[in-house]
Chains A and B, each alone.
Chain A
Amino acid sequence: MAKQLGFYFDSSACVGCKTCQIACKDKNNLPLGVCWRRVFEYAGGSWVPQGDQWIPNNVFGYNLSLSCNHCENPLCVNACPTTALVKRADGVILINQDQCVGCRYCEWACPYGAPQFDEAKGVMTKCNFCEDLLAQGQNPACVDACPLRALDFGDIAELRAKHGNVSAVEPLPVATITQPHLVITPNRQAQPVGKGTGTILNLPEEL
């Protein structure tokens, strides 16, 4: 079977420092409003009064670092009218900006918000797995930047053999839609997909 690259994310180790997000932004020189890797803070629960005290009631929170998942069933590639989006032999999905018409249809199609619009250029952009670094045998910038070693990448079959098959927890969409090449070690507080009681706490300008 051909190699398919994917990402591994250890949600139990992530502290939400967003170093991966900034490393990606820096490495790829992304403009304002474009973030190929984003750290989502998902949390919920409440505080209830007990006597003269307030005590936490089911309070929980965890982080998810997400980029493009270079999916098995990439809805973005299927939707793109210009064939600007292509899936490479190693499974990396790239966008040819010279081909892109800027219709943003891939943005509608992707349930992960991975393709993002560059207002100045009028075209779409997305995570390219740091293809230039890969070509030099180096790691993607986000993986190397993580101070908690919560990110890794590699052949998805190997990642799954090592870390299991979880590829979605709340607030991610159910994995059957696009079959993402993502392996997650869930946080101990992680909520199952579709059963979430929390909300994404990030401010809009953080994402």
Chain B
Amino acid sequence: MNVREWALITFTILAQMSVGSFIVLGIVHYFTAKKSGEKQADELSDRALLAIGPVLALGMAASLLHLGNPINAYKAVTNLATSWLSREIFFGVLFAVAGAVFAVMQWKKIATFQIRNIVAWVAAAIGVALVFSMSMVYMMPTRPSWNLVTTPLSFFATTLLLGVFAMGAAFVANYWYVQSKNPGCASDQCVLLRDTLRWFATASIVLLGFQFVLLPLWIAQMAGTDAVSAAMLVGEFGIMFGLRLVLVFLGAGVLGIFLYRAASSPGQEKVMGTVAYVAFAFVLVGEVLGRFLFYATATHFGLQ
């Protein structure tokens, strides 16, 4: 492991978090608008939307640190025909552009709700293509611990898990902001926030279940194709792997349950907000460790 790999960890985690956040935000906005009207939905989510752009930009900036010759970075989309790396960069840039277009339309309320919705779905679809391309970059016969179906599955799991928790934290921050500016509108927003966080807590338990199916599957598949990597994961990196499991379990599972309970009882907003922040921190660190292990345990098939 060196700085270059940290650049990749930062890039993949932040890009996946931004895609996940965008999708989760879109779903929340859609259902909130249906239930409580467009205005309330915008109030709940518009500021959170604007937080996604910088996260993606930071991730893309980090990806440049992975290059030996960043000056040529713009040439890296010229082999869309065969290179998944080209496709990853292409969809990354496209997602940034589509997301930015939607953010501007939403912020300035350009065009109708329906048209903005279509733009959002297109951007979300590009985001899915980005995460898929990202995972395909690692599907190569010379890297047996990566060349498994668990790579795309775990990338999508990370995308949704981080999306849910990042947006949970963002909604809480937004709520405190709204309350400080305009206490009068806060009660409706408070109900919406509690509803949303209850859904997030439920989703996080489901995603945690998925993670805990995926991780043993990864180890089992890895042990079949690349015993050295599997041995590293449970040996040399065993403590870190254990920590990764504990953090995600605590963040998405235990704190998920606390979040659900706090969000179900009015008057518990302070607790609910704190739980949402801490859960996000736990899940983020857990996922970063997971991605670190993904790179650190990889071996090369053939001659190095």
Contact = CB atoms under 8 A, between A and B. Distances in A.
9 contacts: A66-B303, A75-B141, A81-B78, A82-B79, A98-B72, A100-B72, A103-B85, A108-B143, A109-B142
Interface string A117-133: 10101111000000000
Contact of B69 (A83, A113, A123): A123
A81 B86 contact: yes
Given A79-B83, A207-B304, 16 more contacts: A66-B303, A75-B140, A81-B83, A101-B68, A101-B72, A102-B69, A104-B4, A105-B83, A108-B143, A111-B302, A121-B69, A123-B69, A173-B302, A177-B141, A177-B142, A177-B302
Contacts of A110: 142, 302
Nearest to A103: B67
A161 B75 CA distance: 41
Contacts of A122: 67-69
Given A103-B66, A173-B302, A173-B303, A111 B142 contact: yes
B140 A109 contact: yes
A84 B77 CA distance: 12
Given A102-B68, A102-B69, A123-B68, A82 B303 contact: no
Contacts of A28: none
A102 B72 contact: yes
Interface string B86-109: 100100000000000000000000
Contacts of B304: 113, 207
- Interface SS of B by simple majority: loop
Nearest to A171: B303
Interface in A175-193: 177
Contact of B79 (A81, A112, A123, A177): A81
Taking residues whose C-beta sits less than 8 angstroms from the other chain, chain B's interface range is 20 to 34
Contacts of A80: 79, 83, 85
B180 interface: no
Given A78-B82, A78-B83, A101 B140 contact: no
Contacts, number: 104
Contacts of B4: 104
Interface string B118-151: 0000000000000000000100111100000000
A117 B303 contact: no
A36 interface: no
B240 interface: no
A78 to B, nearest CB: 4
A57 interface: no
B178 interface: no
Interface in B11-30: none
Contacts of A77: 82
Contact of A79 (B67, B89, B140, B303): B140
Interface in A193-207: 207
Interface of A: 40, 66, 75, 77-84, 98-105, 108-113, 117, 119, 121-124, 171-173, 177, 207
B78 A111 contact: no
Interface string B273-304: 00000000000000000000000000011111
B72 to A, nearest CB: 4
Given A40-B303, A172-B303, A111 B141 contact: yes
B76 A75 contact: no
A5 B118 CA distance: 53
Contacts of B70: 101-102
**Top 8 A-B pairs, shortest CB-CB distance:** A102-B68, A111-B302, A122-B68, A173-B302, A102-B69, A81-B85, A81-B86, A78-B82
Nearest to B298: A108
Specify which of B66, B73, B141, B142 lies most central, judged by the most chain A CB atoms within 10 Å of its CB. B142
Contacts of B140: 75, 79, 108-109
Interface in B227-286: none
A78 B83 CA distance: 6
A83 B77 CA distance: 9
